[in-house]
Amino acid sequence: MIDFRSDTVTRPTPAMLEAMMQAPVGDDVFGEDPSINQLEAISAGLFGMEAAIFCPSGTMTNQIAIKCHTQPGDEVICERLSHVYQYEGGGIAFNSGASVRLVDGNRGRITAAQVEESINPDDVHKPASTLVSLENTANRGGGSCYNFTDIQAIKEVCLQNKLKLHLDGARLFNALVAKNETCRQYGEVFDTISICLSKGLGTPVGSVLIGPKELIKKARRIRKIFGGGMRQAGFMAAAGIYALEHNVARLADDHRHAQEIATALQEKDFVGEILPVETNIIIFEVKGRFTARDLAAKMKELGIFVIAISPKQVRIVVHLDISPENVQQTIKVIQSL
Ligand SMILES: *Cc1c(COP(=O)(O)O)cnc(C)c1O
């Protein structure tokens, strides 16, 4: 099977496994895992921020950040299709007791004007707006990227209104590569940044939350409460260090592969609108001969694993384990349909 369901399906390469096996480890709840300490220092350094904390998942890093930035009864502003709202099990309500103000964005991206309109007045009837959470790249936007100037404009609104700004950067490195941007730029505008090591970067497990020292100290306490305090997890952190060193620049290959597949899809009568392919995700509308589910089933029979994300949409995610030969094979299958 050629598996395009998600960029989480990658297996560690022999070189990554070797780096993991060589990792010095210790008990991270005591702060004694050298590999985790190193990954946290590298991550904070990359973004020019003070501190970082390694967690088992991106859901946990996002949820910890939201909990650090809010009090129960506060309100979080985010895009309607954002992961923090759609795919974290109602965690904003469950973990932080906060409400959510949803904004209808453009392929997952919101504007400074929309943020401004969504901020509640200082009125006892209203929840206090305290946090804006952005997603870059935006998964349900088809891997869309923000223009950095739009993020800066949102930051201005946050500063004027004393709101904190969090980034769900599960696929931030895809955006950085696609837009030729740097981690430092992002470190300058966001209060906290969550990055995933287990998506495009190809590690088995792990995400990192990056931010100011005091906040990350609080995050350690919350991570423990959430059950995310790990022991000799340095084996996983070592995979992360390896990935940050070796697997970032190559994301451009995934982006090119996604373009090639999208070009093949464009020719087919059963393909409707394809969201602009900016990174490693292709989301397209299915029409006519197939429903999204039919098409996914048909492709599966032919050895290609994709997901129907709605009755009319299929998602294809390109990643580290998709070779150029896999891409050519996939294009052949698409052409045969
Ligand atoms: C995958 C993902 C996450 C984190 O997911 P986990 O499976 O909990 O690691 C967060 N945000 C976005 C946009 C994602 O795609």
Please indicate, yes or no, if residue 7 is contained in any of the structural domains. Answer: no
Q: Where are the beta strands (DSSP E) in 92-163?
A: 99-103, 129-135
Which pLDDT score is estimated for 181? 98
Please indicate, yes or no, if residue 309 is contained in any of the structural domains. Answer: yes
Q: In what order do the strands lie in the sheet with 75-79?
A: 51-55, 207-211, 192-196, 164-169, 129-135, 75-79, 99-103
Question: How does pLDDT run across 212-238, given as a tens digit for each residue?
Answer: 999 999 999 999 999 999 999 999 999
State how far the Cα of 304 lies from the Cα of 319, in Å rounded to an integer. Answer: 14
Domain count, the chain: 2
184 and 202 both lie in a single domain = yes
Query: Which residues lie with the beta carbon below 6 Å from any ligand 1 atom?
Result: 57-59, 62, 83, 135, 139, 168, 170, 196, 199, 207
Please indicate, yes or no, if residue 31 is contained in any of the structural domains. Answer: yes
Cβ proximity of 65 and 59 under 8 Å: no
Burial class (CB in 10 A: 0-12, 13-18, 19+), 302: middle
Please indicate, yes or no, if residue 6 is contained in any of the structural domains. Answer: no
Question: How does pLDDT run across 231-280, given as a tens digit for each residue?
Answer: 999 999 999 999 999 999 999 999 999 999 999 999 999 999 999 999 99
Is pTM beyond 0.85? Reply is yes
Which pLDDT score is estimated for 220? 98
Q: Whose CA is nearest to atom 6 of ligand 1?
A: 58
Cβ proximity of 142 and 116 under 8 Å: no
Could you give the C-alpha distances from 9 to 1, 87, 176, 185, in angstroms and in order?
A: 12, 18, 22, 30
State how far the Cα of 316 lies from the Cα of 161, in Å rounded to an integer. Answer: 39
Nearest to 119 by CA among 177, 161, 69: 161
- Domain-ending residue, one of 246, 261, 281: 246
- DSSP assigned state of 311: T
236 and 267 both lie in a single domain = no
202 and 265 both lie in a single domain = no
Which pLDDT score is estimated for 120? 98
Minimum-distance ligand 1 atom for the alpha carbon of 199:
1
Distance 50 CA to ligand 1 centre (A): 23
Q: How far apart are the first and last CA of the chain?
A: 17
Which pLDDT score is estimated for 47? 98
Cβ proximity of 194 and 65 under 8 Å: yes
State how far the Cα of 94 lies from the Cα of 106, in Å rounded to an integer. Answer: 28
State how far the Cα of 215 lies from the Cα of 69, in Å rounded to an integer. Answer: 9
Which pLDDT score is estimated for 76? 98
64 and 179 both lie in a single domain = yes
Mean pLDDT by 10 residues, the chain (337 residues): 97 97 98 98 98 98 98 98 98 98 98 98 97 98 98 98 98 98 98 98 98 98 98 98 98 98 97 98 97 97 97 97 98 97
172 and 223 both lie in a single domain = yes
Q: Which two tokens stand for residue 48?
A: 């020019």
Q: Are strands 129-135 and 51-55 parallel, antiparallel or unpaired?
A: unpaired
- Domain-ending residue, one of 222, 246, 270: 246
Tell me, what CATH number does 267's domain have? 3.90.1150.10
Distance 138 CA to ligand 1 centre (A): 11
Cβ proximity of 166 and 131 under 8 Å: yes
271 and 240 both lie in a single domain = no
Ligand 1: residue of 5, 7, 55, 57 to mutate (most ligand atoms within 8 A of CB) is: 57
Which pLDDT score is estimated for 225? 98
Burial class (CB in 10 A: 0-12, 13-18, 19+), 144: buried
Q: Which two tokens stand for residue 198?
A: 């287990």
115 and 127 both lie in a single domain = yes
- Domain-ending residue, one of 225, 246, 267: 246
Range of the domain at 206: 14-246
Please indicate, yes or no, if residue 301 is contained in any of the structural domains. Answer: yes
19 and 45 both lie in a single domain = yes
Which pLDDT score is estimated for 147? 98
Cβ proximity of 233 and 217 under 8 Å: no
Tell me, what CATH number does 34's domain have? 3.40.640.10
State how far the Cα of 164 lies from the Cα of 193, in Å rounded to an integer. Answer: 11
Q: Are strands 207-211 and 192-196 parallel, antiparallel or unpaired?
A: antiparallel
